Structure 1
């Protein structure tokens, strides 16, 4: 049995761009886990608005802005495939219990992921409710039937979505720490809010 300090939460995100929702989620994860590792990823099911390196820089600015030593960006975990990320995390933190964090919008997709059942066998799964994506009981039962050890995290995340922000830019949804990098790379058609 792993001790609580042996647990590490893993949260990959497109960070396309990072929003106040990402910020709230990372802060919420720090309330539940002793260590949180995050990275920007390329989701094979999404079209991205900026290259991975720029999204990683945006996420890094958010992580630095939160300034919590328990939160670290580990860009080397990034892969389009969760199974590869878990392999890398297992090598980085041998003996630690891995908790893979996903939004409720992704939970029904996991059985169709590359080696989805193997993913579920290598980690505990934490699902964060997302506004507009209610927790699907049938999806949870399907995951449990595949061997998932899962929990639904009681986090309240603001209803922000990177995809909506790319369609209709809203500077109020961008964390202050992200602005310098966003403006430096001239991303998403957003202008300096000041």
Structure 2
């Protein structure tokens, strides 16, 4: 049987302990887990540079130290469907599962090039907080696997605001926090206030 690979692209702006927990959970259920920071053109304004976000993902992966968890920045693309198509072309022997949160899962039918995504993916992995699953078992003709965990409801926009006030959120891994400070990321309070969206629920990711 072909190996099952979980693909997890995240904004990583910044990656927090909740993201690390998702990576570790996926690694328990899949032969390989490949992760990267996404370059979503709809979210670029006000974000930390892609290179910095990739480095924070690399630090998170290194912190976890799991043999089957890998940072694969070469698969970064503006759109999830493009990333999956590239991986399928380079690694046709794998069954590719796209990992995402419950809110993002329900948005998949509206994604750009969703037909390409469907053609190149084996299925979806819904990573959800306990009791928050959509209950979907299939989406757009593909199977949906649901993984539940007690994931803290961290919100990246809240963490950015805390960092802008020079606070050191416990939600961040120490390596990530040290890197953020060394690079002077998230120091513009005004920019952070513009980035925040009051009332928006915390998400596991929406790519």
- Please tell me the TM-score bracket, short chain as reference: 0.7 to 0.9
The residue number in structure 2 matching 1:57 is 55
Which of residues 88, 102, 109 in structure 1 aligns to 2:107?
109
- Alpha carbons of structure 1 residues 134 and 148: separation in structure 2 relative to 1, 3 Å: same
The residue number in structure 2 matching 1:66 is 64
Q: Any idea what the Cα deviations from partners look like across 1:32-81, whole Å, max 9, x if unmatched? A: 11210000012234355301111001111111111122111110111121
The residue number in structure 2 matching 1:128 is 127
The residue number in structure 1 matching 2:199 is none
User: After superposition, where does 1:82-161 map in structure 2 within 5 Å?
Assistant: 82-123=80-121, 124-130=123-129, 134-137=132-135, 140=136, 144=139, 146-161=140-155
* Aligned-partner SS, 1:163: helix
Q: What is the TM-score normalised by the length of structure 1?
A: 0.84
* Aligned-partner SS, 1:43: coil
Q: What is the TM-score normalised by the length of structure 2?
A: 0.79
User: After superposition, where does 1:27-66 map in structure 2 within 5 Å?
Assistant: 27-46=24-43, 47-66=45-64
Asked if the contact 1:120–1:149 (Cα under 8 Å) also holds between the matched residues in 2, the reply is: no
Q: Any idea what the Cα deviations from partners look like across 1:109-145, whole Å, max 9, x if unmatched? A: 11111121331232110011158x94345xx48x63x
Q: Any idea what the Cα deviations from partners look like across 1:12-33, whole Å, max 9, x if unmatched? A: 0000001010111111111111
Report the Cα offset of residue 90 of structure 1: 1.2
- Alpha carbons of structure 1 residues 182 and 168: separation in structure 2 relative to 1, 3 Å: closer
- Alpha carbons of structure 1 residues 19 and 29: separation in structure 2 relative to 1, 3 Å: same
Give the unaligned 5+ runs of structure 1.
none
Which of residues 19, 24, 36 in structure 1 aligns to 2:21?
24
Give the unaligned 5+ runs of structure 2.
189-207
Aligned length: 182
Report the Cα offset of residue 93 of structure 1: 2.1
Q: Any idea what the Cα deviations from partners look like across 1:167-191, whole Å, max 9, x if unmatched? A: 334521101221232122111249x
